Amino acid sequence: MNRFALVAGSLMSALAVAGGAFGAHALAAITNPDRLATWETGARYLIYHGLALFAIGILSTVLNRTFLWPVRLIFSGAVVFAGSLFLLVLTDTPWLGAITPLGGVLLIGGWIQLAYALAKLPNLRPTL
């Protein structure tokens, strides 16, 4: 799972940069500002969560732990969230916006799962 998180995080971040550039250069000339803002939101969330997956991969290696569910949820959430926004803009199909919150729920679940997994680690418990 560490390798998956590192590779997926790297590739998602690369896709976010390419997608952001595509939006800024190609889409800006052919779509309205609201749709362009939607595209930028997808690219922004994709890079944030790509970097998060990369960080989780490193953390997994350093702690010698596998964060299976956080990686699964964050990866799938980012794909659903950003993917639905990208498709909405490219196809001009507004109903795809109804899928986006499902990606958000998966992302939130991934972050909560990560917090739970980290809180369970004996060497990371706060001392008072």
- The reply to whether 112 falls in a domain is yes
- The reply to whether 126 falls in a domain is no
Domain span at residue 54?
2-119
Query: How many structural domains comprise the chain?
Result: 1
- The reply to whether 88 falls in a domain is yes
Torsion of CA 105, 107, 113, 114, to 10 degrees: -160
- The reply to whether 35 falls in a domain is yes
Q: What is the mean pLDDT of residues 85-97?
A: 93
CA separation for the pair 41, 46 (Å, rounded): 8
Is residue 125 pLDDT above 60, yes or no? no
pTM of the model: 0.91
- The reply to whether 99 falls in a domain is yes
CA separation for the pair 115, 13 (Å, rounded): 22
Q: What's the pLDDT at 67?
A: 94
| Residue 92, SS3 per DSSP | coil
- The reply to whether 102 falls in a domain is yes
| Mean pLDDT over the full length of the chain | 93
Q: What is the mean pLDDT of residues 83-87?
A: 96
- The reply to whether 84 falls in a domain is yes
Q: What's the pLDDT at 9?
A: 96
Name the band, by pLDDT with cuts 50, 70 and 90, for residue 90: very high
| Residue 101, token pair as written in the block | 């919150």
Judged by average pLDDT, the poorest of 5-14, 73-82, 88-97 is 88-97
Q: What's the pLDDT at 109?
A: 98
- pLDDT tens figures, 15-66: 999 999 999 889 988 889 999 999 999 999 999 999 999 999 999 999 888 8
- The reply to whether 28 falls in a domain is yes
